[in-house]
Chains A and B, each alone.
Chain A
Amino acid sequence: MVDLSIQIRDENGVAVVQPEGFINAHTVRQFESALENLVAAGKFTILLDCQRLSYISSAGLGAIMGLIETVRENGGDILLCSLQQNVFAIFDTLGFTQLYRVFASEVEARQALAGKTE
């Protein structure tokens, strides 16, 4: 099993990022590069589907924090969905659930985004 693999697809202008494995100091550069490439390509609405993310450390949180201002300044956002219990605990413990919109599923997240653009 690889430490981290990342699938990215476009859903009506939303970049859906699906990390599988774990994000820590060893894998964070790969995760950070994936997000940076999206932003560089003008993809400012990013949905992180964390269904297959086993855990994320502060290194991974830092990668997200590092881009949040840029995407929001460009009219986009970073949303989260399908968080496993321990991943949710990390975000919630640090108060990040106030900073990011968190959804139970990808469908719910995309519906919320569609409502915003209607």
Chain B
Amino acid sequence: MKTIPDPEVFRLVIPSQTRYLNLVTGLAKRASMVAGMDDSTAAKVSIAVDEAVTNVIMHAYGGETDHIVDIELRFMPLALEIHICHTGQSIRADQIILPDPGEYVKHPRKGGLGLLLMSRFMDEVHFLEGKERNECCMIKRVGT
């Protein structure tokens, strides 16, 4: 008899190309619903994943299209964990400056909103730096 991994894990590996974003966000939305989230919450998770994968493609890999983005969805008992792994430039926690939405309204400018959306739509966002690869880990708890 085959054993089911604990937690149950789903992996998707894509080239570092933005044309696959819609594929990834569609999967993230469906996975959120399988995890027990409602449609509205699932849509927010999918947006957060779009932002995180876009950051990897555009910033970690500098727009280079011949790399790999490894997306792992872990179905925890009360949460969905999303791990987005890459071998590009890492982002350190001390480099993250979330824009103040109030300041944005007063002084509109282009860019810088992706991380804010990720932090608002997910319960936890972590950036982990490894020896061989780096990771963005996002967690959304069911029912929040």
Candidates B18, B102, B112; contact of A24 at CB < 8 Å: B18
A94 touches B101 (CB 8 A): yes
Chain A 90-113 per-residue mask, 1 if CB under 8 angstroms from chain B, else 0: 100111101100000000000000
Given known contacts A65-B110, A94-B101, A99-B105, A25 and B116 CB-to-CB distance under 8 angstroms:
no
**Which residues of B in the span 19-43 have a Cβ within 8 Å of any Cβ on A?**
19, 21-22, 25, 40, 43
Interface of A is mostly: helix
A66 touches B105 (CB 8 A): no
B interface residue count range (under 10 / 10 to 19 / 20 to 34 / 35 or more): 20 to 34
Candidates A22, A24, A63; contact of B54 at CB < 8 Å: A24
Interface of B is mostly: helix
Interface size on A, residues (CB 8 A): 26
B21 touches A26 (CB 8 A): yes
A94 touches B104 (CB 8 A): yes
Q: B80 within 8 Å of A by Cβ? A: no
